[in-house]
Amino acid sequence: MENSAVPGLKSRDLPAVFRRSRAKIWIRTGILTVFGTLFGLALYHDIVFGPFRLLWALAILLVTLPIGFWMRKLVPMQVHTPSGFVTLSFDRIYFALIIVLVVIKALASNFLHVTLLADAAMCVILGLMVGRLSGICLRVHALKPGQTLPKS
């Protein structure tokens, strides 16, 4: 399978780190899909049958989307100029934040029975995940061999 970034370069000729980094965006997309589906269904249920309102969910999402988009800057990325590949590293800050929010959501819904807090936590998680993933995709797309990382 030939790589479109560099003519004649086959994907099996690439170092393993480049093959893994390409999959990292797909893994993030899969995680977002799973969380989005589970949380989206729970939010829909709570909006239709519970005390949580659609306007509240939209307001929280509108606040957290730009924060998640800004968090793309925290993702360590390196450009491999000869091949045109971008490698992504693990972002501990984002991972810890999502874990804390998931624990808050679980505690609020399962033990404290505070549906509003659990729903707000779900909206924050979804907003951060969607904003960050879209920011990462745009950042990777903007990187080209020979250029530095964008400042914005």
Q: Which two tokens stand for residue 25?
A: 């965006």
Q: Tell me the average pLDDT of the chain.
A: 78
H helices, E strands: number in the chain: 4, 2
Overall domain count for the chain: 1
Residue of 40 and 81 predicted with greater confidence:
40
Residue 137 covered by a domain: yes
Residue 3 covered by a domain: no
Residue 6 covered by a domain: no
Q: How many CB atoms sit inside 10 A of residue 1's CB?
A: 6
Residue 2 covered by a domain: no
Domain boundaries, position 50: 11-142
Residue of 6 and 60 predicted with greater confidence:
60
CA distance 57 to 66: 15
- Kindly report the pTM of this predicted structure: 0.73
Residue 124 covered by a domain: yes
Q: Is the dihedral of CA 39, 45, 51, 53 positive or negative?
A: positive
Residue 147 covered by a domain: no
What's the whole-number mean pLDDT along residues 69-83? 78
